[in-house]
Amino acid sequence: MSDLPERLSLREVGPRDGLQNEEPVPTAGKVALIDALSATGIGRIEAVSFVHPRAIPQMADAGEVWGAVAPAAGVRYSALVPNLRGAERALDAGFAELEVVVSASDTHNRRNLNRSTEESLDDLAAVVDLAHDRAASCQVIVSTAWGCPYEGDVPVERVLSVAGAALRHGADSLSYGDTTGMATPSRVTRLVGETRSAYPDVALNLHFHNTRGTGLANVLAALQLGVADFDASVGGLGGCPYAPGATGNIATEELVHMVEDMGVTTGVDLEAMIDVARQAERLVGRTLPSQVLRAGPRTRTVTATPIREV
């Protein structure tokens, strides 16, 4: 495993991608979750999204949440935006890092953003230009990169075409989203490999869901290709309101547990992240899917009960 990256950059997406798929939780609970995550050693947190409240009511209080968060030194915070109006709101709120999403699948893009993929790409340049004018960065997330619940498999060529358009419009980096948990290691290898061939200098982030149990295997496949930037969600929170069955991002504590044991540094305090996963579980009022949350790290031991002599 000596060819793996020495260190990962992790973006915690639970406060946004996680909570947008739950019943609405109180603003104070969201703020407490972000503040707790900020103390775990995680370097980046996707805090909120500035979408229309009718589309995703769980994010209706984005401005209030961000206004109450206590930003921690050394942590970078970002916001997801769907369009120019969302970007304006995020920048006005003080964010210096934006993510804008466009689906490789036209059907999913229409369900998610009420427009075609091409229409979203046409609007993208204005969003990127606004971010740059305000000294902010803008990452383009290409969702349904490994498949769509409505269209099925999405051709690699289609994903590369959307990614190329985003880069031509000035995107600072790319993220590929496995919105429906349809990725497998061989498919990850192909898409990442072809992206590296087509755009060798682009900064690439990967966002996997564990819907079909392949999330960490997909991470390993990407690690072996040198990818060192991943999203994860505390406790395995998450999904997609417009992708039926797309429950659960890979859990941050599970990703940290795996790669740290492989000698890849994350900077995250695993026990602290497990504690925050418990907090997230209480916040949403249901059992979260993380197995490391249930069992603890492999190094955790229990006291043996003395054997009674008979």
Mean pLDDT of all residues belonging to the chain: 94
- Per-residue model confidence as pLDDT tens digits over 229-281: 999 999 999 866 555 555 689 999 999 999 999 999 999 999 999 999 999 99
Mean pLDDT throughout 7-17?
Answer: 97
Q: Has 240 been annotated as catalytic?
A: yes
- Per-residue model confidence as pLDDT tens digits over 22-39: 999 999 999 999 999 999
Looking at residue 247, what is its pLDDT? 66
For residue 184, pLDDT over 60 is answered with yes
Which whole-number Å values give the CA distances from 108 to 117, 144, 192, 243, in the listed order? 9, 8, 22, 8
Range of weakest confidence among 70-74, 173-177, 231-235, 236-240:
236-240
The first and second tokens of residue 34, run together, are 């972000």
Q: Which domains does the chain have, with CATH numbers?
A: 9-295 (3.20.20.70)
**Catalytic one among 223, 240, 277, 293?**
240
For residue 59, pLDDT over 60 is answered with yes
pLDDT above 70 covers what percent of the chain?
96
Which residues, listed in sequence order, are joined to residue 265 by a DSSP beta bridge?
Answer: 7
Q: Give 305's DSSP letter.
A: P
* CB-based contacts of 221, cutoff 8 Å, min separation 6: 185, 186, 188, 189, 192
Say what the pTM is: 0.95
Which whole-number Å values give the CA distances from 286 to 22, 107, 280, 283, 289, in the listed order? 10, 31, 9, 8, 10
pLDDT above 90 covers what percent of the chain?
87
The first and second tokens of residue 94, run together, are 């003080």
* The Cα angle at residue 30 between residues 142 and 132, in degrees rounded to 5: 40
Looking at residue 308, what is its pLDDT? 82
- Per-residue model confidence as pLDDT tens digits over 194-210: 999 999 999 999 999 99
Q: List b or e across 277-310, with b for residues whose CB sees 16 or more CB atoms inside 10 angstroms.
A: bebbbebbeeebbbebbeebeeeeeeeeeeeeee
Count the neighbouring beta carbons within 10 Å of the beta carbon of residue 53. Answer: 11
Looking at residue 1, what is its pLDDT? 46
Mean pLDDT throughout 137-159?
Answer: 96
